[in-house]
Amino acid sequence: MAILQTLDRGIKALFYIGSAQDGVSIADLAVELGVDRAIAYRIASTLEDNRLVTRSKDGRLYLGAGVLQLENHFVPQLRRRSSELLKKLAADACATAFLSIADGDDCVAIVVEEPEAALIRVGYRVGSRHPLDRGAAGIAILSLRAPTVEDLPEVVEARKDGFSVTRGALQKGAVGVAAPVRFVDPSRTIECCVGVVALADMDVDRAAKLAVASAQSLAG
């Protein structure tokens, strides 16, 4: 695979600068990239010209506002890419399908698709928000994170099973099934899940398999 070395260094520089809460110096960057300080300076200046990096008065490098523009475009692209997948999931599971992301301590639905064939549907709208530790979607997202001693039993189980199931957590009589989206690209830091919600007569085992398959498809 052909790699453009300068671009590769610039991308690595972005990730390195972004990982340092207190910023990095040109000398730090040169060591990290294995290049001369002059080359590290030119890489930083190029990123700075494109607003991807900003420089403080003491010369330390931080991520710039241009990175936020890229981040702001990611979720709309994710919505568009997931819409058809969720329509199929809703039809196959005969349940309302959703894509939810973590937003602080909350879980927020950003795409919702309802099955056309279902006579009775569970109301779930775009923008619906609830704590991460409640509901199948939030539990699935928490299972993406590194294990801690404070993990809820539901999170531990979801991490082991690859999906979460909750009953009546957000709405009486509703069953939620969700699978975390594990992006193939480790640079993706967004935490999200795919799932379905329906009334108590939903085939949970089948719904779980469909949700996991959909999450894997989206992750790819």
Q: Indicate whether 137 and 211 sit together in one domain.
A: yes
Q: Indicate whether 117 and 38 sit together in one domain.
A: no
Q: Indicate whether 129 and 199 sit together in one domain.
A: yes
Give tens-digit pLDDT for 103-147.
Answer: 888 998 888 998 876 555 566 678 888 899 989 999 999 999 889
Q: Scanning the structure block, which residue is given the tokens 């690209």?
A: 185
What is d(CA 28, CA 19) in angstroms, rounded to the nearest whole number?
13
Which string of DSSP letters, residue by residue, matches 20-67? -TT-B-HHHHHHHHTS-HHHHHHHHHHHHHTTSEEE-TTS-EEE-THH
Q: Indicate whether 44 and 115 sit together in one domain.
A: no
pLDDT surpasses 80 at 68: no
Q: Is the pTM of this model over 0.85?
A: no
Q: Indicate whether 87 and 189 sit together in one domain.
A: yes
On the CB side of 155, how many CA atoms lie within 13 Å of its CA?
Answer: 17
pLDDT surpasses 90 at 71: no
The pLDDT of residue 186 is 54
The pLDDT of residue 80 is 83
pLDDT confidence band for 188 (50 / 70 / 90): low
Please tell me the total count of domains within the chain. 2
Give the DSSP H or E segment for 214. helix 204-219
Last residue of a domain, one of 48, 64, 80: 64
Give tens-digit pLDDT for 144-179.
Answer: 988 999 999 999 999 999 999 998 877 787 899 999
Q: Indicate whether 171 and 143 sit together in one domain.
A: yes
User: Domain of 169?
Assistant: 68-219
pLDDT confidence band for 183 (50 / 70 / 90): confident
The pLDDT of residue 127 is 82
Q: List the CATH number of the domain containing 136.
A: 3.30.450.40
3-class secondary structure, 167: strand
Q: Indicate whether 87 and 104 sit together in one domain.
A: yes
Write the burial class of residue 13 (CB in 10 Å: 0-12 exposed, 13-18 middle, 19+ buried).
buried
Give tens-digit pLDDT for 17-59.
Answer: 988 888 899 999 999 999 999 999 999 999 999 999 999 888 9
Q: Scanning the structure block, which residue is given the tokens 């064939």?
A: 117
Give the DSSP H or E segment for 180. strand 174-180
